[in-house]
Chains A and B, each alone.
Chain A
Amino acid sequence: MNAILEMRSITKTFPGVKALADVNLTVERGEIHALVGENGAGKSTLMKVLSGVYPHHQYDGDIFYNGELQKFAKISDSEAKGIIIIHQELALVPLLSIAENIFLGNETATKGVIDWHEAHSRATELLRKVGLNENSATLIDNIGVGKQQLVEIAKALSKEVELLILDEPTSSLNENDSEALLELLLEFRRQGITSILISHKLNEVAKVADTITVLRDGMTVSTFPCDHGPEIENKIIKDMVGRELTNRFPPRDVEIGDTVFEVKNWNVYHHIYSDRHLIRDVNLNLRAGEIVGIAGLMGAGRTELAMSIFGRSYGQKISGEVQLKGQQVDVSTIRKAVDRGLAYVTEDRKEYGLVLENTIKNNLTLANLDGVAKGSVLDDNEERQVSREYIDKLNIRCSSMLQEVVNLSGGNQQKVVLGKWLYSNPEVLILDEPTRGIDVNAKYEIYTIINELAAQGRGIVFISSEMPELLGMCDRIYVMNEGRMAGELPAAEASQEKIMRMILKNDG
C-alpha cells in the first residue's frame, strides 16, 4: 500500500492554547480512515491545517500529499489537489437550488455566462452518484438535512475529489440517512476515493473504517487497523479517555446540604419546529454545596435544557416544574429567574455572555445593576469598587477595569462572565461548558472558583463535554442522550467507559 497523505509532527498553537502537539497522521490510498477523540482533542483543528484554513506558516510540521510536500495557503489550494472537506455545519445557501449550490464558485460558465442546461444535466448525474432522488432545481430549503448532506457530497464530487474529509457527517441525521451515508462511503471506497471520517459514533466507525487514529489532548494516541470485531469499540474508548487525572483538579471539601433545586417532568419543544420534542420528561435535583454534572454528546439537549429552565430563554411549549428549596417558583422570564437566585453561564461567551465592546466593569455589573445603583442612578464609585473586588477575587488579568472585554484572553473573558453571575449572588449556578476553549492553567483557576462557590453552599450544575472534567469536579453525574436522562451515577462509581456506554447504548 502507498500513503496518499502523511502529516508529520504537526504542531499548532493558539494564544495560550496548544491545540496540536506533534500529531502524525498517515492515510493509505483508497481506505476509510476514522479520526476519533473527545471534544477538543484537536480533530477539527488538524483537518483545518490539512485543508489550508490555517495557512502553512501558521503551524509547524510537514504535509505530504501524493508524496509531495504541500504548502497550502488557502482552501482553494487544497481543493485544487482534490482534498475536499465537508464541515459539520453545512455550507449551503438555503434559497438557491441544488444545482446552483453544487456549482457555487465553480459554475459551468463561459466568460461569466452560465450554461444552465449543462449545470442541471451534470448536477443530475452527480445526484444519481450519491443516490439522491431529487430534481436539481429544488431549493435547498425544501429538502431535509440528510439530503442536504448528500448535496454537500455531490458538490465535493463535482470537484474531482481524491481525498474526502467528513466532519461528523451523521451528527444531525436519523438512522436511515446515516445508514445510507455510510453505504455511500463504502461505495466511494470501491471507486478508489479515500475518505477521512471524523465521528463520535463509535458503532459507525467500527462498521466502516479500515484504520482508526485516536487523538487526545492534541496528540496522536494510537493508530490501528479496524477489524470490525466486538472489542474494537472498547479499545477506542480506552484510548480516547485513558489519561491520568492527578492534579488537574483542585481538591475540595464536600459538605452537602439539603436539596436546593429541583426540576420535574421538564419538557421542551424546538424553538421553531413546534413538533420536535427536544427535552423529554427530564428530572433533576441538586443539593446545597453539591456539584452535579451533565454528560452527553453534542446535540444531547443539555444546553436546551439549561436555557429552557433559565427564564425560558430557549424553546417553546415548555412544561414542568421548578422548585427552589422545596417551593415551586415561577422562573418564566429571565428577570424572574435571576431574582429567584438562578444564574446561567452560557457555553458561548462571545455570542451570549459578554457585551464585547463594553468594559470589564460594565460587563461585571450587568446582571445586577441595581446593586450598584441608588434608585435607578448608578453609583460610579460603588461600581468601581465592586469591579475591583471581582477582578481581584477572580484574578482577571487586565490593564484596567475600563479595558474592553474583546481584548481579553478566553480564560479571562470566562472569568468576567463568571464574575457577572457571582455578583448577582445566585443560589444555583448552571455552568454550560465553562472551560471551553481555554488553557489548562485558566481551567484550574475556574475549577477553584467553582469549588469555592460550592463550599459557600450554592448548588452547581456543571455541563461539560469533557468527561475527565466531570469526573474530577462533580459529586454526581447525570448522563443525557437525545433529550432524555439516560442515567445517573455518583461520581465515585462513574468512569468514562461507563458514561460512554450509557450514551452509546441507546445511540443508533
Chain B
Amino acid sequence: MQDVASTAAPAAAEDAGKKTTIGSYLKANLREYGLLLALLIVMASFQIMTGGILMKPLNITNLVLQNSYIVIMAIGMLLVIVAGHIDLSVGSIVGFIGALAAVLMVSWEVPVFISVIVCLLAGVAIGAMQGYWVAYHKIPPFIVTLAGMLVFRGLTLALLQGQSIGPFPVAFQRLSSGFIPDILPIGGMHGLTLLLGAAISLYLVYANFRNRIAQSRIAAPDEPMTVFLFKNALILVAINYFTWLMAGYRGLPNVLIVMALLIAIYSFITGRTTIGRRIYALGGNEKAAKLSGVNTERLSFLTFANMGLLAALAGLVFAARLNSASPKAGVAFELDVIAAVFIGGASMSGGVGTVVGAVIGAFLMGVMNNGMSIMSVGIDYQQVIKGLVLLAAVIFDVYNKKKGG
C-alpha cells in the first residue's frame, strides 16, 4: 500500500514575485560570497600579522608557484567529486609521472616536448584505468584509487630505484620557474603583465555586463544591481592590484598562465556545456540522470581520465619546480587537494561545487600555509589549524544547508 506521507513534500516556499533584496540574496548565496570573503579576511590578517611580507611581490609569486600543482589537481578533483566519486591516487600519480619524466628526459635524453606528451598520455591512461573499474564495474572509487595510490607509489620507487634523479633540461624547468617575456617595460615594471591584467579584468567585466543584459531581456536578473556592481569593481581592483604586484617582481610566472587557462576552460565546461551539466546531474542523482538518457558510465569514466591528465600535468609542474624527481614527491598531496575542494564548497555526496570555489579553497589553504610559515608557526600547528579550517568549512556548509532546506 502506498502511503501518502512518504511522498508528500514539504510545503513550497511560495514567495513568488517577491523582489530579491541585497540581504536575502547574499544570504541565499552565503557559501560563494562567504568563501571569497574568508580568503580576503585571511589575506588581510596575515598581511597585518606578517608586517606586510605576505603581499610582497616576491612572496606573492612564491605563493602562486607553491600552490600551482595543488590548484591544477583541485580542478580535476572538483569534477570527480561533483560526479560523486573520490580519487586518492593523485599524490602517487604526481610522484610516478615526475619519475617517468626524469627517466625519459634525464636518463634516456628523450626530447622535452616528446617526454611531456608521453607523460600526459600516461596520466590519461592511469586515470582511464581507474575510471574503467569505477564506471563500468561499479567498484567503489575509494578502493580503486586507494589501490592506485599504493601501486603508483610503488612504481615510483621502482622507476627511481629509491634515488632522486635530476637535474632536468632547462627548457623543462621553465614550465615552473619561467616567467612570461617582458616585451614592453613600463616605468621599470613588467609591462606585459600590467597589460594582461588590465585586458583580462576588462574582458571579465564586459562579459558579466553582456550576460546581465541578455538575462534581463527574459526576466529580472536574480542578482541585485548593487551586488553586481560591487562584484565587478572587486574583479577590476583585485586583478589589477595583483598584476601590479607581480609586475614589480618578474611578471607573471608561466605556470600561472597555465593555471588561468585551466580555470577558464574548466569553468566554462562545468558552467556552460552539456557535459558539465550532465556531470552535476550525475552527482546529484545518478538514477534520475540515467533515466533522463545521460550516459552516466561514460561521464564517470571521463572524469577519472581527466583527473589522470591533470595529475600528470601537476606531476610535471612539481618535478620542474624541484628540478628533480624524488621517490617522496607528491606524498599526501591527495589530502590537500581533496581538502581544497571541500573547503571550496563541494558536497561529499556529489552534485555540488564549482571550479572557482575549489581554486579559492586551494589558495585559502596556500595563504594560510605561507602566512604561518612566515610567522614561523611550526609545521605541527600548521597541520592542526588546516585541519580545523577544513572541519569548520564543512560544518558551516551542513549547518547552512539545514537552515536553508
A337: which B residues are within 8 A, CB to CB? Answer: 293
Cβ of B36 < 8 Å from any Cβ of A? Answer: no
The residue on A at minimum CB distance from B7 is A437
When the two chains form their complex, are residues B277 and A369 in contact, meaning their CB atoms are under 8 A apart? Answer: yes
How would you classify the secondary structure of chain B's contact residues: helix, strand, loop or mixed? loop
Known: A168-B1, A408-B12. A378 touches B291 (CB 8 A): no
Cβ of B287 < 8 Å from any Cβ of A? Answer: yes
When the two chains form their complex, are residues B288 and A355 in contact, meaning their CB atoms are under 8 A apart? Answer: yes
Q: Which of A412-465 contact B (CB under 8 A)?
A: 412-413, 420, 424, 433, 436-438, 465
The residue on A at minimum CB distance from B217 is A381
When the two chains form their complex, are residues B293 and A402 in contact, meaning their CB atoms are under 8 A apart? Answer: no
Cβ of A400 < 8 Å from any Cβ of B? Answer: yes
Per-residue interface assignment for chain A, residues 307 to 350, with 1 indicating a CB less than 8 Å from any chain B CB and 0 otherwise: 00011010000000000000000000011011100001010011
When the two chains form their complex, are residues A406 and B6 in contact, meaning their CB atoms are under 8 A apart? Answer: no
Instruction: Tell me the minimal C-beta distance from B60 to chain A in angstroms.
Output: 34
A385: which of B13, B15, B218, B272 is its contact (CB, 8 Å)?
B218
When the two chains form their complex, are residues A384 and B215 in contact, meaning their CB atoms are under 8 A apart? Answer: yes
Indicate the member of B9, B272, B293 with the most A CB atoms within 10 Å. Answer: B9
Known: A352-B291, A366-B289, A376-B273. A357 touches B284 (CB 8 A): yes
Cβ of B375 < 8 Å from any Cβ of A? Answer: no
When the two chains form their complex, are residues A362 and B277 in contact, meaning their CB atoms are under 8 A apart? Answer: yes
When the two chains form their complex, are residues B8 and A355 in contact, meaning their CB atoms are under 8 A apart? Answer: no
Q: Which of A357-389 contact B (CB under 8 A)?
A: 357-358, 362, 365-367, 369-370, 373, 376-378, 380-381, 384-385, 388
A198: which of B1, B219, B280, B291 is its contact (CB, 8 Å)?
B1
A334: which of B12, B281, B291 is its contact (CB, 8 Å)?
B291
The residue on B at minimum CB distance from A420 is B292
When the two chains form their complex, are residues B288 and A352 in contact, meaning their CB atoms are under 8 A apart? Answer: yes
Known: A15-B11, A355-B285. A399 touches B16 (CB 8 A): yes
When the two chains form their complex, are residues B215 and A44 in contact, meaning their CB atoms are under 8 A apart? Answer: no
B280: which A residues are within 8 A, CB to CB? Answer: 355, 358, 362
Q: What separation, in Å, do the CA atoms of A370 and B274 have in the docked complex?
A: 7
A198: which B residues are within 8 A, CB to CB? Answer: 1
Cβ of A14 < 8 Å from any Cβ of B? Answer: yes
Cβ of A16 < 8 Å from any Cβ of B? Answer: yes
Q: What separation, in Å, do the CA atoms of A352 and B290 have in the docked complex?
A: 9
Number of contacting residues on B, CB 8 A? 48
Instruction: Tell me the minimal C-beta distance from B298 to chain A in angstroms.
Output: 10
Cβ of B352 < 8 Å from any Cβ of A? Answer: yes
Instruction: Tell me the minimal C-beta distance from A156 to chain B in angstroms.
Output: 19
When the two chains form their complex, are residues B290 and A407 in contact, meaning their CB atoms are under 8 A apart? Answer: no
A384: which B residues are within 8 A, CB to CB? Answer: 215, 218-219
Q: What separation, in Å, do the CA atoms of A436 and B291 have in the docked complex?
A: 19
The residue on A at minimum CB distance from B347 is A357
Cβ of A17 < 8 Å from any Cβ of B? Answer: yes
Cβ of B294 < 8 Å from any Cβ of A? Answer: yes
Q: What separation, in Å, do the CA atoms of A54 and B14 have in the docked complex?
A: 26
Known: A399-B18, A402-B222. A355 touches B351 (CB 8 A): yes
Among A35-43, A77-85, A228-236, A246-254, the one that faces the other chain is A35-43
A413: which of B9, B219, B278, B352 is its contact (CB, 8 Å)?
B9
When the two chains form their complex, are residues A356 and B284 in contact, meaning their CB atoms are under 8 A apart? Answer: yes
Instruction: Tell me the minimal C-beta distance from B318 to chain A in angstroms.
Output: 32
Per-residue interface assignment for chain B, residues 349 to 361, with 1 indicating a CB less than 8 Å from any chain A CB and 0 otherwise: 0011000000000
When the two chains form their complex, are residues B287 and A352 in contact, meaning their CB atoms are under 8 A apart? Answer: yes
Cβ of A48 < 8 Å from any Cβ of B? Answer: yes
- Count of CB-CB pairs between chains A and B under 8 Å: 174
Known: A378-B274, A403-B13. A40 touches B2 (CB 8 A): yes
Q: What separation, in Å, do the CA atoms of A293 and B90 have in the docked complex?
A: 53
B1: which A residues are within 8 A, CB to CB? Answer: 39-41, 43-44, 88, 167-168, 198, 200, 298
Q: What separation, in Å, do the CA atoms of A354 and B7 have in the docked complex?
A: 13
Instruction: Tell me the minimal C-beta distance from B394 to chain A in angstroms.
Output: 16
A355: which B residues are within 8 A, CB to CB? Answer: 280-281, 284-285, 288-289, 351
Q: What separation, in Å, do the CA atoms of A420 and B2 have in the docked complex?
A: 25
Cβ of A219 < 8 Å from any Cβ of B? Answer: no
Known: A384-B215, A398-B12. A19 touches B291 (CB 8 A): no
The residue on B at minimum CB distance from A14 is B8
Cβ of B214 < 8 Å from any Cβ of A? Answer: yes
The residue on B at minimum CB distance from A345 is B291
When the two chains form their complex, are residues A366 and B281 in contact, meaning their CB atoms are under 8 A apart? Answer: yes
Cβ of B5 < 8 Å from any Cβ of A? Answer: yes
Known: A16-B11, A358-B280. A380 touches B288 (CB 8 A): no
Cβ of B295 < 8 Å from any Cβ of A? Answer: yes
Indicate the member of A16, A54, A337 with the most B CB atoms within 10 Å. Answer: A16
B219: which A residues are within 8 A, CB to CB? Answer: 384, 388, 401
When the two chains form their complex, are residues B273 and A334 in contact, meaning their CB atoms are under 8 A apart? Answer: no
When the two chains form their complex, are residues B12 and A354 in contact, meaning their CB atoms are under 8 A apart? Answer: no
A313: which B residues are within 8 A, CB to CB? Answer: 290-291
When the two chains form their complex, are residues A437 and B274 in contact, meaning their CB atoms are under 8 A apart? Answer: no
Indicate the member of B5, B289, B292, B352 with the most A CB atoms within 10 Å. Answer: B292
CB pairs A–B below 8 angstroms (24 shown)? A15-B8, A43-B1, A167-B1, A198-B1, A298-B2, A313-B290, A334-B290, A337-B293, A346-B291, A352-B287, A355-B351, A362-B280, A366-B277, A376-B275, A377-B274, A378-B277, A380-B272, A400-B16, A402-B222, A409-B10, A410-B9, A420-B292, A424-B293, A465-B2
- Chain A residues with CB under 8 Å of chain B are 14-17, 19, 39-45, 48, 54, 88, 167-168, 198, 200, 298, 310-311, 313, 334-335, 337-339, 344, 346, 349-358, 362, 365-367, 369-370, 373, 376-378, 380-381, 384-385, 388, 397-403, 406-410, 412-413, 420, 424, 433, 436-438, 465
